[in-house]
Structure 1
Amino acid sequence: MCIAKQQLYILTKSACKNGQAAVDWDDLRLVLAVTREGTLSGAARRLGVTHSTVFRRLGAIEQSLGVRLFDRFRDGYSATAAGESTAALAARFADDFVALERRLSGQDLRPFGMVRITTTDTICTMLMRHIPSLRAAHPEIRLEITISNVMANLTRREADIALRPVPAPPETLVGRRIATITHAVYGSPSYLSRRGSADRTDHDWIGLDDMMATSVIGRWMRENIEDDRIAVKVDALPALTDAACAGMGLALLPCYVGDAEPRLRRARSVAVSAASSTLWLLTHGDLKRTARIQAVMNHLATALGSERALLEGKRPGKGAAPRAPRTNAG
């Protein structure tokens, strides 16, 4: 028996011994939600129930256990020592539950049900081109697509599949390497005609703010461009692209973004080195044999492989690449 289940057993046994009703998993989930949200309304939203339901159930749990789990304040609820212990137990038990859910999901035999995909704002544009063919091939699979520049926690089932540009994926994930993502410097035709210098120090540049300092573009800018040459900073690649289109200066962009944008041209006189990443299609090891996950992974690996010329900066329209090989990301 795992530690979390042992502690749950001891807690419920102790409650029954004292003539009290045993706490169950739903009770633990409620205590955890109130602890994490700090308010009953926040916990209600997290659990998908009403404020009054959380209020009533929390009172019943505290009465059943004979202990106060939260101190009530005007601006919310703060866990007592007993509440913190209960929430910590619930969090550990939740990890076991999610792990069990992952393993059971991995036993699915047919491509049916929901698949959650997470990707970045710019990759999503490419992904959407291939969703219609995916839906046509597998009409019983429903999709939920989340746009975020932060890697979702596939271990906790925040998503089933991640399509991410990363140098190397986490060891807990498996997947397929789609292509190298090449970068180049871009500017608007009007800017390039005004400022045709080959020396990058003579140009105005568009940079990324500190939130994206660790990205490929952020690192290259930090290593190659002086701060006083940066005319404007933005916090997302679409804004970086728009600023370059508006003629504010030069921008380092992934080629799949810059080459696909008709309002931009490559600044070929400005050399770029050591600015590349890798596009990975990833899932958790427990899910890789699930029929619906396999179906989506196989379809997207082939479809996105056809975009390899664009991803690698060889310009679109030069032919589809062969299917991406199956690779263990660890």
Structure 2
Amino acid sequence: MFSWDDIGVFLALYRERTTGRAANARGVSQPTIVRRIAALENDLGLALFERSPTGLMPTDAAHGLYASAQRIERSVCEFTAEVDGLTGAEVNLIRLTFLDHFEQLLIPVLRDFRSRWPRVQTQLLASDHIYDLARGEADIGVRGRDRPTSDELIVRQLPPSGWTIYASAHSSAEERPRAPADVAGHPIALVGGVPATLPVYLWLEEFASSGPPPARCNNYRAIKSLVASGSVLSALPCTIGDGDSDLVRCFPPLEEWDVPIYLIGRRAILRRPPARDLFDSIAAHFDRHPELLMGVR
């Protein structure tokens, strides 16, 4: 009969779609993933995945089982947390995820936390990858845009992220727009993917149809480099633009371009004092210094 580990392998393959990535997610070897999923399919009498040029594709049976497998996963996480609470087990590792330009903002918090909890290791997951806290991929996260609604999470709203238009600091004041209406006619850069739907980029997109063809970038780092070179103007969060000596604001951040920011914690992990202390410390830090996220206005 199958076990929880088999269901964990199924979930990893369903989410990652290759045996290599699933092996990394589970912390096991690739042959182990292949062997365990074959054994699970044999036990169930169902084909769960089909091979394709792009990886493993879930079958209709896999789609049908996914929601139930997720519920089992969450129950296991809750059960483990309850056992830790009853046995007095200490949290000695807290996984903190945030966008990769937030790490400098958190240094004072992490320094003070380490002085209070020297035995607790903080693993920083700074990446554009969205870790799923509800299913236990991380413990505490700082996220933008959409407020999570899962019962497994505790959510606190932080000050919003401020955005404005930046130019090269090496350009003259006469070359820069002084108000939003002045941006028309300047070469601009836009970002692709999900960030393209942020209010400021939707606003910039309006200029793309009437001005020079925009440069298209796949991340904020590429946009920052183009702006610093003096070839384009573009929008960046104040958390990136204000700290770069090669960039200069064209005008102050506008409230209509603000992006909501949320602090998220796994409810089970926040029952433990070190994790709750870190969560509350991050919230208090940004409450005391909203300009870190919003930019000085």
TM-score (norm 1): 0.69
Aligned amino acid, residue 157 of structure 2:
R
Determine the C-alpha separation between the residues in 1 that align with 2:200 and 2:120: 36
Please name the residue that 1:120 is paired with. 99
The answer to whether structure 1 residue 280 and structure 2 residue 262 are counterparts is yes
The answer to whether structure 1 residue 204 and structure 2 residue 187 are counterparts is yes
Gaps of 5+ in 1: 1-21, 316-330
Moved more, 86-95 or 297-306: 86-95
Please name the residue that 1:310 is paired with. 292
Determine the C-alpha separation between the residues in 1 that align with 2:215 and 2:239: 23
Deviation for aligned residue 1:276:
0.9
Deviation for aligned residue 1:274:
0.9
Identity value in percent: 22
Q: Deviations over 1:133-173 (max 9, x none)?
A: 32222112111222234543221112111112336453644
TM-score (norm 2): 0.76
Of residues 238, 243, 247, the one that matches 2:226 is: 243
* Contact 1:185/1:266 (8 A) holds in 2: yes
Please name the residue that 1:289 is paired with. 271
The 3 A distance-change label for structure 1 pair 106 and 194 is farther
Aligned amino acid, residue 116 of structure 1:
R
Deviation for aligned residue 1:294:
0.6
The answer to whether structure 1 residue 221 and structure 2 residue 201 are counterparts is no
Gaps of 5+ in 2: none
Determine the C-alpha separation between the residues in 2 that align with 1:164 and 1:78: 29
* Contact 2:163/2:253 (8 A) holds in 1: no
The 3 A distance-change label for structure 1 pair 110 and 261 is farther
The 3 A distance-change label for structure 1 pair 297 and 87 is closer
SS at match of 2:296: coil
Determine the C-alpha separation between the residues in 1 that align with 2:177 and 2:20: 59
Please name the residue that 1:154 is paired with. 133
Deviation for aligned residue 1:32:
5.3
Determine the C-alpha separation between the residues in 1 that align with 2:33 and 2:294: 52
* Contact 1:110/1:291 (8 A) holds in 2: no
The 3 A distance-change label for structure 1 pair 154 and 243 is same
SS at match of 1:127: helix
Moved more, 211-220 or 85-94: 85-94
Q: Deviations over 1:241-268 (max 9, x none)?
A: 2221111222222223222222222213
